[in-house]
Structure 1
Amino acid sequence: MRILICQLLPVLSLVSSTAALTITSTNPDSFKAAATTAAANAVASYNARQSKDTPGKFDGTWWEGGAFFNFLINYWHWTGDSQYNDIITEGMSYQGGSNNDFYPQSVQGYIGNDDQEFWALAAMTAAEQKFPDNPKPGSIGWLGLAQGAYNDFAARWAVDNSSCGGGLRWQLVPTLSGYGAKNAISNGAFFQLAARLYWYTGNETYANMAETVWDWSVQSKLFNNQTWYIWDMTLISENCQDPSGKQWSYNYGSYAAGAAYMYNKTKANAKWKTGLDGILGMTYSTFFPAQYGSNTMAEIGCDPWKQCDRDQLCFKGLLASWLSTIALIAPYTQPDIFEKLMASAVGAGQGCTDTQCGQQWYAQQWDGTSGIEQDMSALSVFANALAAFPYNGTAGPVSADNGGNSTANPTGGGSSGETQISPLKAITGGDRAGAAILTLIFCGGWIAAVTWLVRADIF
């Protein structure tokens, strides 16, 4: 199947001839060379960050470290270049925290479920790619860290089951704006994590949770299982029946990847085949727009205006990573996925120079933007497009049944449930009126006191 794809792609004339990172669709070494350049640039930025004394910590953001290491693990897997393995091991192990669940004390109080989930998904990638566990005595395996994080999410789901009938909140602390919302990525990433743990371990507990999260997402109106339109979030105050927000590629990718794992593990169960096909179809029509040739990825909510923030600049890299895995565990999807990954990689290469990458992969030139996030996403699509080439015999993901050897820790985590403090009461008109009256009383008393002091010649 992969050889057939590689034979068909030359007719697309996917060759970048003007950018420094020239990629030819028939030459896997050109993808590898581009990935090597993007990886070096991203790692150079990582090493130069102000927070470099804290392994795995990015300046001004925490979750991106999980995405960064996920992309570097895939880079190692597909290219064989191990020069960054030490910083992967150091950063992921450190951020695993004392509870071995990617919930270190340093980030408690300001992160969301989705932030923690990206680290857990990176750990699953490490386990599935047979990235070596940390050899340091007492260290928890990548599988064990992912299980610890899963236990946190399952505990939070149980604690908050009365609101909207289930679902994970966006953020964990009542003073944060996302505490009142349940969003697609927090639940889609949890669904994917549960599905991957089921696929890797065969434990039916994970399968049951994956089913629960999927069914709740449909019931909550986060996504429509007829149109396969996935919204960004819902409000708890509206019983999660008011979906809203822009379309983001990582929301679709998170659910699609989970469905693919369930499809594979359940031997093509119709529920998961229908779900995977439906979400992929909407992903293709939405994030591979016809105006850009129908095969080049675009983050339609911000790419056209070059207005993507740091988070959004990572989304295409996440989608590329998940699409390559989907193609390997659901092989019937390979023709479309490989075509789109390779075209997107060529486009990303056209938007790079030797030292930086832009965000618009369809622009056919560097768009003038740069940053570690652009380099990270470009790295991801370059490396993951190599899944289309069987030239080096590199295999897809493994489970405990076919070579997976990461150490488990199924009882880790679970004690860091979300804060259960009532949110601050909304300010009402009566509150404002009362405050105004108190202010007038105070001011009146203060003026009278000052007048008495002046008359008494105190000043």
Structure 2
Amino acid sequence: MWSYFWHIAFTALLTLGRLTAGIQLDINDPNSIKDAAATAAYVMMTYYHGNESGQIPGKLPGTWWTGGEVFMALVQYWYWTGDTSYNDVTKQALIWQKGHNDYLPDNYTQDLGNDDQVFWGLAAMTAAELNFPEDEEVSWLALAQGVFNTQAEKWDPDTCHGGLRWQRNSWNGGYDLKNSVSNGGFFQLAARLARYTKNETYTEWAEKAFTWATSVPLIIEKGWTINDLVTVESNCQAPNQMQWSYNYGIYFNGAAYMYNLTNGDTKWKNVVEGLLNTTWRNFFPQEYGGNIMVEPCEPQKQGVVPCDGNQSTFKSLVTAWLAFTTTIMPETLDQILPKLQGSAEGAAKQCSGPSPDKICGQRWFLDKYDGVTGLREHMCALSVFTANMVPFKTGNRDQGPLTADTGGTSKGDPSAGTGSRKPEKDKPREITTGDRVGASIATVVVVEQRKKTEIEMTVLLMVTPDRMSKRLNDNHPGRDYYVFLRAMGVASDKRYDLHATL
């Protein structure tokens, strides 16, 4: 305990000393990288209170899925650096939110999307692959299998000949959408389970999920672009073409696992190379040197809507997936490492904020702190710093990510998550008079005119007032419907405040 206290105190002193000069990073020195990562991790965790008395472990301000990202980043931090400071709090969070061994905790199940759930599943899968310490209470592999099983149940062949819907439940806005991140998350999880267990069922599902995504306009193989979502109403033939980095990352990393599993199948080699090339073009623009990651929402230009809370996390995911792609597909290292190094150097310059809890900014392509800061920005800095440990043989690294045949110790349960609850019906149910009277349903209709496509998009969300309040406070902070619109892929410069409606 005292060693932990002194570690935190020492890290805080280091943090205070770097406020004006920024984090001093030498990408060729593993100790320098570890110091930078330790600072980012420390500040990130000042925003987390789930391990305090009366708080909920694993719950963070904002969306529930962000917790999966944060604790996945901390598992990776431990793996790359060997620092165990956050292992206990990470283990506590991953266990507390596990629900019925499927990451569908009762407090949030009614409002969760498939993408929300899968990020916790990917965190558990990461813990299994890296031999993150576990105890008798839980198996990381079994938790990942529980997520897979409950998502496979939701595969929807009745519309668009397959695919996962964005939302798990018919009463949630977005149920009639099938998006890349939900389907890509399922694909990646299946690919990783297939590699870890060598179970052909997971391999078949990974192939099936990827083939489906290319059969509708989510993944366009000619040019290797990934659209954000398609609508069931259009038979999944009218894509929203917004470009987000995590859609690419979730697929290229899954494809890299399939490449590794199949001993270098040319099919998967072409997928990884094609998606990486588009990733470089879209998210590492030559305007900023070509080696610094930039989200489309970051440049302060006319017509660019600033990043919301979800989009502010994407760099954390993508840089981590890039790092692990190099470990399971080593021939990608020469093109990936310069991108990770340039991004880390940019992030270090951004980490020059004015106070102990506001150190790292968002826009890595700027030389000075931009003032956009919070848990998400520090998580992104943490991930890109730790990703730069790839060339060094330090920390807790074995030849990972591991499998059951190469030293992975987490024991699975192929039936995890099944039988814990009755599956929700796949079809939307009609709203009855009893629903209207008993639940006092509030209906909110938002119409957004999209100038570029001249398509009028109507977003209809029907919920009870208490659930509306819960969704906006828990999942979309500030009672602000704008974030929900952005999640639906509707770019807008307007904000829709529902306070008066409720």
TM over 0.5: same fold?
yes
Q: Secondary structure at the match of 1:282?
A: helix
Per residue, is there more helix in 1 or in 2?
A: 1
Q: Is 1:280 the equivalent of 2:281?
A: no
Whether the aligned pair in 1 keeps the contact of 2:169 and 2:424 (CA below 8 Å) is yes
Whether the aligned pair in 1 keeps the contact of 2:78 and 2:395 (CA below 8 Å) is no
Among 29, 47, 63, which residue is 2:31 paired with? Answer: 29
Q: What does residue 48 of structure 2 align with? A: 46
- In structure 2, relative to structure 1, the CA distance for the partners of 1:72 and 1:393 (3 Å cut) is closer
**Residues 68-110 of structure 1 deviation map (CA, whole Å, 9 limit, x = unaligned):** 000000101111110110111110011111x201011111111
- Counterparts of 1:1-16 in structure 2, within 5 Å, are none
Identity of aligned residues (%): 43
Q: What does residue 81 of structure 1 align with? A: 83
- Aligned partner letter, 1:100: N
Q: What does residue 371 of structure 2 align with? A: 368
The CA distance in 2 between the partners of 1:242 and 1:50, in whole Å, is 47
Q: Is 1:383 the equivalent of 2:419?
A: no
- Counterparts of 1:50-199 in structure 2, within 5 Å, are 53-97=55-99, 99-133=100-134, 135=135, 137=136, 139-157=137-155, 160-199=156-195
- Structure number with greater CO (CA < 8 Å, separation at least 6) is 1
Whether the aligned pair in 2 keeps the contact of 1:153 and 1:414 (CA below 8 Å) is no
- Aligned partner letter, 1:247: Q
Whether the aligned pair in 2 keeps the contact of 1:46 and 1:52 (CA below 8 Å) is no
Q: What does residue 311 of structure 2 align with? A: 312
**Residues 412-435 of structure 1 deviation map (CA, whole Å, 9 limit, x = unaligned):** 1135544434265899xxxxxxxx
The CA distance in 1 between the partners of 2:259 and 2:90, in whole Å, is 30
Q: How far did residue 175 of structure 1 move? A: 2.4
Question: What is the RMSD of the two structures over their aligned residues, measured on CA atoms?
Answer: 2.1
The CA distance in 2 between the partners of 1:202 and 1:342, in whole Å, is 34
**Residues 293-348 of structure 1 deviation map (CA, whole Å, 9 limit, x = unaligned):** 10100111345458111111110000011000001100000011111111101101
The CA distance in 2 between the partners of 1:236 and 1:400, in whole Å, is 39
Whether the aligned pair in 2 keeps the contact of 1:306 and 1:359 (CA below 8 Å) is no
Q: What does residue 237 of structure 1 align with? A: 233
Q: Secondary structure at the match of 2:306?
A: coil
Q: Secondary structure at the match of 1:368?
A: coil
Whether the aligned pair in 1 keeps the contact of 2:346 and 2:364 (CA below 8 Å) is yes
The CA distance in 2 between the partners of 1:285 and 1:385, in whole Å, is 21
Larger radius of gyration: 1
Task: Return 5+ residue gaps in structure 1 as ranges.
Answer: 1-15, 428-459
Whether the aligned pair in 1 keeps the contact of 2:297 and 2:305 (CA below 8 Å) is no
Whether the aligned pair in 1 keeps the contact of 2:166 and 2:178 (CA below 8 Å) is yes
- Aligned partner letter, 1:410: P
Whether the aligned pair in 1 keeps the contact of 2:79 and 2:395 (CA below 8 Å) is no
Task: Return 5+ residue gaps in structure 2 as ranges.
Answer: 1-17, 432-442, 446-502
Q: How far did residue 172 of structure 1 move? A: 1.5
Q: Secondary structure at the match of 2:397?
A: coil
Among 420, 423, 440, which residue is 2:426 paired with? Answer: 420
- Aligned partner letter, 2:84: S
Whether the aligned pair in 2 keeps the contact of 1:263 and 1:269 (CA below 8 Å) is yes
The CA distance in 1 between the partners of 2:94 and 2:373, in whole Å, is 25
Segment drifting more, 81-90 vs 411-420 = 411-420
- Aligned partner letter, 2:74: L
- Aligned partner letter, 2:162: G
Q: What does residue 409 of structure 2 align with? A: 405
**Residues 277-301 of structure 1 deviation map (CA, whole Å, 9 limit, x = unaligned):** 1111111111101001101001113
**Residues 384-434 of structure 1 deviation map (CA, whole Å, 9 limit, x = unaligned):** 11112235683331111110001211101135544434265899xxxxxxx
Q: Secondary structure at the match of 2:360?
A: coil
Whether the aligned pair in 1 keeps the contact of 2:114 and 2:168 (CA below 8 Å) is yes
Whether the aligned pair in 2 keeps the contact of 1:75 and 1:383 (CA below 8 Å) is yes
Q: Is 1:211 the equivalent of 2:213?
A: no
- Aligned partner letter, 1:368: G
Whether the aligned pair in 2 keeps the contact of 1:263 and 1:273 (CA below 8 Å) is yes
- In structure 2, relative to structure 1, the CA distance for the partners of 1:303 and 1:169 (3 Å cut) is farther
Whether the aligned pair in 2 keeps the contact of 1:155 and 1:414 (CA below 8 Å) is no
The CA distance in 1 between the partners of 2:256 and 2:299, in whole Å, is 27
Whether the aligned pair in 1 keeps the contact of 2:187 and 2:209 (CA below 8 Å) is yes
Whether the aligned pair in 2 keeps the contact of 1:235 and 1:241 (CA below 8 Å) is yes
- Aligned partner letter, 1:386: M
Whether the aligned pair in 1 keeps the contact of 2:40 and 2:378 (CA below 8 Å) is yes
- Aligned partner letter, 1:113: N
Q: Secondary structure at the match of 2:307?
A: coil
Whether the aligned pair in 2 keeps the contact of 1:287 and 1:298 (CA below 8 Å) is yes
- Aligned partner letter, 1:366: Y
**Residues 138-160 of structure 1 deviation map (CA, whole Å, 9 limit, x = unaligned):** x2200000001100011111xx2
- Give the TM-score taking structure 2 as reference length: 0.77
The CA distance in 2 between the partners of 1:209 and 1:229, in whole Å, is 22
Q: What does residue 358 of structure 1 align with? A: 361
The CA distance in 2 between the partners of 1:290 and 1:342, in whole Å, is 16
The CA distance in 2 between the partners of 1:290 and 1:213, in whole Å, is 33
- Counterparts of 1:250-265 in structure 2, within 5 Å, are 250-265=246-261
- Aligned partner letter, 1:289: P
Whether the aligned pair in 1 keeps the contact of 2:188 and 2:254 (CA below 8 Å) is yes
Q: Secondary structure at the match of 1:234?
A: strand
The CA distance in 1 between the partners of 2:416 and 2:165, in whole Å, is 21
Whether the aligned pair in 2 keeps the contact of 1:144 and 1:410 (CA below 8 Å) is yes
Aligned residues: 406
